[in-house]
A = this chain, B = another copy of it.
Amino acid sequence: MRSQLAWLLAAAGLGLGQASPIPRPASSNVMNAAYPAVWPDGRVTFQLRAPNASRVQLQPGGNDNGLAAAALDMVKGEDGLWSVTTPPAVPGFHYYWFMVDGLRVNDPGSQTYFGWARDTSGIEIPSDEDGYYLARDVPHGQVRMEWYLSKTTGEWRRAFVYTPPGYDSNTRARFPVLYLQHGAGENETGWTRQGRANFILDNLIAATRAVPMIVVMDHGYATALDSPPAAGAGQGAPARGGGASQGPSPFERVIIGDLIPAIDARYRTRATREFRAMAGLSMGSQQTLQITLRHLDTFSAIGLFSGAAPTGDFTTAYGGTLADAADFNRRVRLLWMGAGSVETRVTGAIETSRRQLASHGIANVVTFSSAGTAHEWQTWRRCLHDFAPRLFRN
């Protein structure tokens, strides 16, 4: 029966195996939510029931991820159900929200993720890449919430700590540590929830493409107990333009004085500069550049994702840290800079920096461009995926 039917359909130019494509609930949906739903070609259908609204729009977090270049009007259907189907979106994670008569509203169908300085809806668009950030059938590490008392802020702070597979069973092994920071308006949950850093490391380690390492993801804001109120309002955002001539920021004091000692005391780390790296995205890259260049006794590898790129007069900039290229080359094993190809301003700055570093004789520089992605988490997943295998190699 089945083969006859298949033959009849084939004769009519249809395929039994080819069910007409239907959208599937996004993996970022809350349980049982049918929408948002992603079509096989990456289009997304969003829905919101708002019977009393006059205008409902989809607002992507950023205008360059394919969902829409600007707020997209939704259409009111039966029972006050508003909906819209977008063009094919760029694969990866995108923040978004609805504008309901001008009010910013989360989608009850999606999980929220801390970004844009609040809990914000997000959607995951599947990729045809190799699944390097999915939970695959390989040994999984753990992600631990670690509380530590900060002398700098006077508060209990929470860091997320990835421990690689085998950390608990292999109790004599010690591990190198990557300190990995989120962007502005995000927090210590970003790299695992939006970034899937733990799955990226799981998969790299399973393929022996990266050495087993601990990854520490802290909250990138700090207000020091001794900060004057005005400085406190800055919440630890780094100074612009190579602020190495300034004093340490509260966040730098937290990282160097509070967090690293706590991690080295509680985890089986290799607690020397050769086995310690720092990387960050966007605001986190500015923090990374500032902190690592001021503490090359603490770090030997630097990752700058979609943000900082050293420039200026290297004889004086960054406190003169790069002035002696041979000395810098001995100390810094990896100076890695990457961004999405859509972030043309950042990729341009990276290229300028790369040339200037090369002409100054700085070695161990790697640059990376993520094809077709913007200032978004898919870029930073790819950055981590390229950066992590280069760490702690000898």
Chain B contacts for A32, CB-based, 8 A: 117, 235
Contact B144 A143 (CB under 8 A): yes
Known: A30-B118, A32-B235, A119-B30. A53 touches B103 (CB 8 A): yes
Give the complex CA separation of A187 and B267 in angstroms: 29
Given contacts A30-B118, A235-B32, contact A105 B102 (CB under 8 A): no
Q: How many angstroms between the C-alpha atoms of A117 and B29 in the bound complex?
A: 11
Among residues 155 to 173 in chain A, which have CB atoms less than 8 Å away from a CB atom of chain B? 156, 168, 171
Complex interface residues of chain A between 1 and 60 (CB less than 8 A to chain B) = 30-33, 50-53
Chain B neighbourhood of A329, CB < 8 A: none
Considering the complex, give the chain B residue whose CB is closest to the CB of A221.
B31
A52-B103 in contact (CB<8A): yes
Q: How many copies does the complex hold?
A: 2
Contact check: which of B52, B104, B143, B267 meets A145 at CB < 8 Å? B143
- How far apart are the CA atoms of A168 and B135 in the complex, in Å? 26
Q: Are A50 and B156 in contact (CB under 8 A)?
A: no
Q: Are A119 and B117 closer than 8 Å at their CB atoms? A: no
Chain B residues near A171 (CB-CB < 8 A): 171
Q: List 6 A-B contacts (CB under 8 A).
A: A30-B114, A50-B103, A52-B102, A105-B106, A140-B147, A143-B144
Cβ of A111 under 8 Å from chain B: yes
Residues in B neighbouring A112, C-beta threshold 8 A: 106, 112, 119
Which among B30, B100, B267 is the interface contact of A103 at CB below 8 angstroms? B100
For the complex, count residues of A whose C-beta is within 8 A of B. Answer: 43
A102 cross-chain contacts in B, Cβ below 8 A: 50-52
CA distance A135 to B32 in the complex (A): 34
Q: Mark A194-205, 1 if CB is under 8 A from B, else 0.
A: 000010000000
Contact of B135 with A147 in the complex, beta carbons under 8 Å: yes
Within A113-147, the residues touching B (CB, 8 Å) are 114, 117-119, 135, 137, 140, 142-147
Report whether A142 and B135 are in contact in the complex, using a CB–CB cutoff of 8 Å.
no
In the complex, what distance in Å separates the CA atom of A32 from the CA atom of B223? 11
